[in-house]
């Protein structure tokens, strides 16, 4: 796994993970805003309350006695690909791997809501998990529309790939919202609240929002100019060959990739180009992987005749005719990256050498360690490449969450952060 943050833990699936149809737990991406909670099953229960006729307290056994449903679905972080946006935006710098495909088993959320007698006045369901916030940040909670909550595919899952949901992935119960980004897939679920108006907490009204239309790169937007992240976008990733590979002229090369879609899935086709997008041909999609919400692997055979430097591209489309753009659509939090995948290979030449890894940056000034590295390690900071104004906003955000920055230190921290982790650094 590619380690983005050691504490809280954020791990990205390597590119080779796309070669599995169902993602094994050792390659399953990990995204935690705070530390993973230890759930005590002796006291665990699920509360269902709010706009319902009969509030419920359910044990895992109660849930297991209800009719079980199973489906295969991709779970993808809204920020998958954030690290590819230019100008760069703050946040974990995911490239391709904050995604996994799994078989989920559990009960329909609709069945639980009906059992509680959900009222017609309900507009959203708000989910909370057992994780606890750090410092003064707000507790991570997310809501989804009542329409999506009552969808027959929305589950409360207790199994992932035929085993109890692993601790890191939400044991004992995780919300599964097929077609939507993972921020709605609340882990360690303990409560469901049916709301009669939209929830206005931090994690819906400030975080996980994006503009409805593309904006000029670098535009600053306020949360009310954006809407919550919901459906995933159709996307494909080429995972073999890898960028910079060397290929012998006249030899047969199988181009392999994986494609998926959101609410408007399934993926219905993938086009491949071996000449940097001039001409396109249909790839072969795995026939036994045709599901609405799971991913689908594809391949394309190519025999490059002449030596040269070739750009291979892939572009998927979904059942509603959506396809991938060729240019990024920048947004302030770096969500929804789904640019057509491209990989350059050298036919008849040398493989290109991977970039040298950078040397360690100098330690921060004064009390930087106690002020900035008490909740998380420095890797959260070193992966950013932000402007001075963006670093200034990060310091304000972290101070609001409880970082203790002495007034005389603020400018020194800002200078240190900008000069070591500025754009292009």
Within 13 Å of residue 194, how many CA atoms lie on the same side as its CB? 27
Judged by CB under 6 A, does residue 285 bind ligand HEC? no
Residue least distant from ligand HEC (Cβ): 135
Pair 209, 228: CB distance under 8 Å: yes
Supply angle C-alpha 245, 249, 255, rounded to 5: 50
Judged by CB under 6 A, does residue 168 bind ligand HEC? no
Report the residue number, 1 or 375, with the smaller CB distance to ligand HEC.
Answer: 375
Give the shortest CB-352-to-ligand HEC separation in angstroms: 31
Report the residue number, 177 or 381, with the smaller CB distance to ligand HEC.
Answer: 381
From 132-140, 176-184, 217-225, 306-314, span contacting ligand HEC (CB under 6 A): 132-140
Give the shortest CB-33-to-ligand HEC separation in angstroms: 4
What sign results for the dihedral spanned by CA atoms 201, 204, 208, 214? Answer: negative
Taking the C-alpha atoms of residue 63 and residue 77, their distance in angstroms, rounded to an integer, is 27
Q: Which of 381, 385, 416, 418 binds ligand HEC (CB under 6 A)?
A: 381
Pair 158, 65: CB distance under 8 Å: no
What sign results for the dihedral spanned by CA atoms 14, 19, 21, 24? Answer: negative
From 75-83, 133-141, 240-248, 324-332, span contacting ligand HEC (CB under 6 A): 133-141
Give the shortest CB-415-to-ligand HEC separation in angstroms: 12
Give the residue from 80, 76, 77 showing the smallest Cα distance to 96: 80
Report the residue number, 59 or 374, with the smaller CB distance to ligand HEC.
Answer: 374
Report the residue number, 234 or 381, with the smaller CB distance to ligand HEC.
Answer: 381
Report the residue number, 47 or 412, with the smaller CB distance to ligand HEC.
Answer: 412
Report 91-110 residues binding ligand HEC (CB under 6 A): 91
Q: Which long-range contacts (CB under 8 A, 24 or more apart) does 369-374 make?
A: 370/404, 371/403, 371/404, 371/405, 371/406, 371/409, 371/413, 372/398, 372/403, 372/413, 374/403
Taking the C-alpha atoms of residue 415 and residue 60, their distance in angstroms, rounded to an integer, is 51
Binding mask 351-380 for ligand HEC (x = CB under 6 A): --------------------xx-xxx---x
Pair 301, 177: CB distance under 8 Å: no
- The CA radius of gyration of the chain, in Å to the nearest whole number, is 23
Judged by CB under 6 A, does residue 34 bind ligand HEC? yes
For residue 54, give both structure tokens. 């009969």
Pair 112, 66: CB distance under 8 Å: yes
Q: Which of 12, 183, 318, 394 binds ligand HEC (CB under 6 A)?
A: 394
First and final CA of the chain: distance in angstroms?
Answer: 24
What sign results for the dihedral spanned by CA atoms 89, 95, 98, 102? Answer: positive
Block residue for tokens 């992932």: 160
Pair 36, 134: CB distance under 8 Å: no
Binding mask 399-418 for ligand HEC (x = CB under 6 A): --xxx-x-------x-----
From 272-280, 303-311, 353-361, 392-400, span contacting ligand HEC (CB under 6 A): 392-400
Judged by CB under 6 A, does residue 395 bind ligand HEC? yes
Judged by CB under 6 A, does residue 201 bind ligand HEC? no
Binding mask 53-92 for ligand HEC (x = CB under 6 A): -------------------------------------xx-
Q: Which of 66, 134, 215, 243 binds ligand HEC (CB under 6 A)?
A: 134
Judged by CB under 6 A, does residue 33 bind ligand HEC? yes
Give the shortest CB-369-to-ligand HEC separation in angstroms: 10
Residues engaged in binding ligand HEC (CB under 6 A)? 33-34, 90-91, 134-135, 137, 371-372, 374-376, 380-381, 384, 394-395, 397-398, 401-403, 405, 413
């Amino acid at each position: 796994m590619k380690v983005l943050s050691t504490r809280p833990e954020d791990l990205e699936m390597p590119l080779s993970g796309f070669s599995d149809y169902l993602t094994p737990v050792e390659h399953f991406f990990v995204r935690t805003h705070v530390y993973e909670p230890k759930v005590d099953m002796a006291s665990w229960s699920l509360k269902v309350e709010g706009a319902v006729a009969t509030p419920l307290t359910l044990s895992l056994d109660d849930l297991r006695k209800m009719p079980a449903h199973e489906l295969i679905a991709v779970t993808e972080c809204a920020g998958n690909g954030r690290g590819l946006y230019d100008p760069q935006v703050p946040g974990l710098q995911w490239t391709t791997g904050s995604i996994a495909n799994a078989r989920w088993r559990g009960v329909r959320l609709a069945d639980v809501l009906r059992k509680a007698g959900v009222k017609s006045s309900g507009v959203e369901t708000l989910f909370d998990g057992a994780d606890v916030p750090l410092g003064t940040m707000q507790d991570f909670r997310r809501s989804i529309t009542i329409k999506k909550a009552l969808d027959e595919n929305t589950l409360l899952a207790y199994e992932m790939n035929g085993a109890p949901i692993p601790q890191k992935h939400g044991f004992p119960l995780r919300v599964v919202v097929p077609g939507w980004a993972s921020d709605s897939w609340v882990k360690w679920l303990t409560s469901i609240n049916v709301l009669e108006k939209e929830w206005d907490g931090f994690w819906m009204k400030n975080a996980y929002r994006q503009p409805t239309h593309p904006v000029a790169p670098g535009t600053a937007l306020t949360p009310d100019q954006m809407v919550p992240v919901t459906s995933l976008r159709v996307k494909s990733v080429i995972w073999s060959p890898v960028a910079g590979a060397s290929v012998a002229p006249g030899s047969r090369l199988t181009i392999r990739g994986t494609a998926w879609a959101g609410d408007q899935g399934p993926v219905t086709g993938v086009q491949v180009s071996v000449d940097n997008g001039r001409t396109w041909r249909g790839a072969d999609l795995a026939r036994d992987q045709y599901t609405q919400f799971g991913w689908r692997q594809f391949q394309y055979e190519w025999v490059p005749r002449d030596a040269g430097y070739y750009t291979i591209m892939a572009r998927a489309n979904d059942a509603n005719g959506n396809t991938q753009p060729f240019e990024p659509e920048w947004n302030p939090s770096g969500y929804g990256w789904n640019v057509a995948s491209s990989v350059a290979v050298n036919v008849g030449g040398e493989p290109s050498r991977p970039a040298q890894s950078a040397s360690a940056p100098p330690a921060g000034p004064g009390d930087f360690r106690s002020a900035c590295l008490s909740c998380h390690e420095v890797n959260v900071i070193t992966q950013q490449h932000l402007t001075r104004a963006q670093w200034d906003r990060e310091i304000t955000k972290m101070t609001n969450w409880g970082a203790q920055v002495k007034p005389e230190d603020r400018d020194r921290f800002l200078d240190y952060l900008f000069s070591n982790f500025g754009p292009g650094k």
